[in-house]
Amino acid sequence: MLSVDDYHYRILRALYQGEDRHELVGLRDDGIMSLPESAAKGDLIRSVEMAITIRERFEQHQLRERGLLAVIETAQDLTALTDLDRVLQAIVQRARKLIGCDVGYLSIYDDQQGDFYVRATDGAFSAKFKQVRVGIDIGVCGYVARNRAPYASSDYVADSRFTHNRLIDSAMTDENIQSILGVPLLAADQVIGVLFVGDRYVRSYIAWEMSILSTLAAHASVAIGNARLFEQAEFALQQAGAANALLVKQTADTRAAAEVHEQLTSLVARGGELRDICHMVAHRLGGHVVVCDEGELEVCTSTGPGYTHPVAAIADPTRRHSLEDRIHAALDESRRLGRSVVALSEEGHECRVSAVTGGAGLLGGLIIHTHAALNEVAVRILERSSLVTSIVLLLKERRESTLWSDNPVALRRLILQPQSNLKALAVQTLVYGLDLAQPVCVLVIQVPSGRATYIAQQLRRLLDGFHALFDEVGDALVFVVDQISLARLKESLTRYFVERRLDFTGVVSEPTADPSRIPASYQSASNCLRFLGVLERRGEIFRERELGMYSFLFGRLDPLEIDAYLQSILGPLYQACDPRKVELGRSLLAYLDHGYNARTAARALDIHINTFRQRLDGLDRLLGAWRDSARALEVHIALRLWRLRDPSVVG
């Protein structure tokens, strides 16, 4: 059996070794049970109780020391960390560890939405809990914020001192929080947040825990305030830097604009050409520059150093035509607005257009292709350059107008009755290289309504080198051209209309060496052109000899009447949707065209003579007595009319 002295020794040893309170309580209970009643036993019990008290005080000192260390570490974090989220996370972690809780989190007030949101957490697992937003009138957070004082609850779900919310209660339940302690983050007299600790079991929080949590909350308030000041200072520095950069840029832009203005002034003074403007703008703004005339034809181009023109890589005709249409529309808008207009803007390619105007009309345009959008100064440089371009184009137009001024007058004197002095007219047309002593033809081309003026402007440059007069007459273009240049002119015009996807239909008169016959040739070609409109033929230039007789006979009919005529003459043969009838019609037309010579017609169709004779037998059964001379003539005319109307059928 242990003596009283032994128990005293065990008490001192337990205190020395830092045993916890439970060990000391065990010694006391053991002494009470094993020692006999005596004065020494009473002294021993009192000694054990004093040892327990000493141990409890020592634990409190240790707890306060840990709290002080946590406060010191937090203060050090405030000076060492510039990342607000890291500081707040460290505060939440220390609060949870110091008080020994399951969960710690910090909610910050959102001025924009007027509620609190979770900014930092430690020990929380539920995603719903981390996304909670709490209004100023709801929950423990709202209670702490309104009263600016700590709040503790040992049973969150059953606590009726604050207003519950279903979503918030659900988040707390998911996290299984039963006890909670919250303290406010104060900045002056405003609550900017709430610091919380919570446990997943029922417990009470002592005053010291509220005190140390409030101290940590004060540090969090300082951290948030410092971070906001730091952000404001950083923003102010950024603004100052941006303002300084803008000032430097504006100075450079002003200098560049002044240099361009000086260059343009010098260019006009020394009588510079359009290519000089192109070169200057392309090298100043960096891109591909095009000067076009009033017909939107390129006059000159220039490309800045190192620039790759995107349009050069466009192989798809549809995309090219789309870009041309956009430029055309942008030129019209720029003319109306008096400012440059973006025609196309896509990744890596922008096209801007500035109309060049003079007097009341459009003289042309200045077009620039760049990899990126032009800034305001560059746009002004482009627009100022277009003004100089207008001066140069006006001078150019004045020089050219001297040559072209008599062209429309001379053309109308040739094609209209009564004609004026033909000898004087022949001298006048020689200026344009047209010799009326040689055979000439009249070419009439129907173009889309309202586009004749525009197309005529574009074709002015194409006529350079052709011995021809031309001008717009109504919605048609009329040319008087010598026979030598006719084929080349037809080829150039056809290529122009096809490349631009413009509808056109043309008729060329028979050549005449008698200038007095030109009005009749014009009238005959015009009649044939109207007849082609009835037949709905487009996209070709025809010879008058192919159409003259049919235009005279059927020119006054409409499409339905022509249909009825073909049906009446050809009967069951006139069926364009039946391939067999079409072949029979083609064979009969070849037979009639070759003077009733079956063998020659078969060779022309590249079929055997027996096959051809079988087709003739079939035609006899289909058309009856068609070989009679008068009937054969009617059938021949009808077949030719059918071919004129639809060359793919009886071609």
Give 276-293 pLDDT, tens digit per residue: 888 888 888 888 999 887
Q: How far apart are CA 494 and CA 491, in angstroms?
A: 5
Distance of CA 506 to the CA centre of its chain: 41
Which stretch, 48-57, 407-416, 487-496, has highest mean pLDDT? 487-496
Among the listed residues 108, 93, 95, the one whose alpha carbon sits nearest the alpha carbon of residue 225: 108
For residue 133, is pLDDT > 70? yes
Instruction: Tell me what percent of the chain is helix, strand and coil, each rounded to the nearest 5.
Output: 60, 15, 25
For residue 59, is pLDDT > 70? no
Q: How far apart are CA 166 and CA 148, in angstroms?
A: 24
**What integer is the mean pLDDT of 113-123?**
91
Which stretch, 79-88, 132-141, 224-233, has highest mean pLDDT? 132-141
Q: How far apart are CA 305 and CA 554, in angstroms?
A: 63
For residue 5, is pLDDT > 90? no
DSSP 551-590: HHHHTT--HHHHHHHHHHHHGGG--TT-HHHHHHHHHHHH
**What integer is the mean pLDDT of 29-33?**
65
pLDDT tens string 318-337: 777 788 888 889 888 988 88
Is the model's pTM score more than 0.75?
A: no
**What integer is the mean pLDDT of 151-157?**
91
Task: Give the chain's length.
Answer: 651
pLDDT tens string 368-406: 999 889 888 888 888 888 888 777 767 665 555 544 455
Q: What is the DSSP letter of 431?
A: T
pLDDT band at 7 (very low <50, low <70, confident <90, very high): low
Looking at residue 508, its pLDDT comes to 94
Alpha-helix residue ranges (DSSP H) falling in 131-206: 139-147, 166-175
Looking at residue 523, its pLDDT comes to 92
**What integer is the mean pLDDT of 462-474?**
77
**What integer is the mean pLDDT of 199-224?**
85
**What integer is the mean pLDDT of 168-181?**
90
Looking at residue 117, its pLDDT comes to 92
Interacting residues of 284 by C-beta distance below 8 A, sequence separation 6+: 256, 260, 381
pLDDT band at 232 (very low <50, low <70, confident <90, very high): confident
pLDDT band at 422 (very low <50, low <70, confident <90, very high): confident
Q: How far apart are CA 314 and CA 378, in angstroms?
A: 26
Among the listed residues 137, 92, 100, the one whose alpha carbon sits nearest the alpha carbon of residue 118: 92
Strands (E), 231-322: 288-293, 298-303
pLDDT band at 61 (very low <50, low <70, confident <90, very high): low
pLDDT band at 215 (very low <50, low <70, confident <90, very high): confident
> Percentage of the chain surpassing pLDDT 70?
82
Q: Residue 454: is it exposed, middle or buried by C-beta count within 10 angstroms (0-12/13-18/19+)?
A: middle
Question: For 71-75, 356-360, 513-517, which range has the lowest pLDDT when averaged over its residues?
Answer: 71-75
Q: How far apart are CA 635 and CA 378, in angstroms?
A: 71
If one compares 256 and 244, the residue with the highest pLDDT of the two is 244
Q: How far apart are CA 463 and CA 475, in angstroms?
A: 19
Looking at residue 594, its pLDDT comes to 87
Looking at residue 577, its pLDDT comes to 80
For residue 595, is pLDDT > 90? no
Question: For 43-57, 538-552, 594-608, which range has the lowest pLDDT when averaged over its residues?
Answer: 43-57
For residue 79, is pLDDT > 60? no
For residue 85, is pLDDT > 80? yes
pLDDT band at 420 (very low <50, low <70, confident <90, very high): confident
For residue 44, is pLDDT > 60? yes
Report in angstroms the alpha-carbon separations of 524 from 446, 484, 520: 14, 21, 6
Amino acid at position 547, single letter? L
If one compares 273 and 506, the residue with the highest pLDDT of the two is 506
**What integer is the mean pLDDT of 36-61?**
68
Average pLDDT for the chain? 81
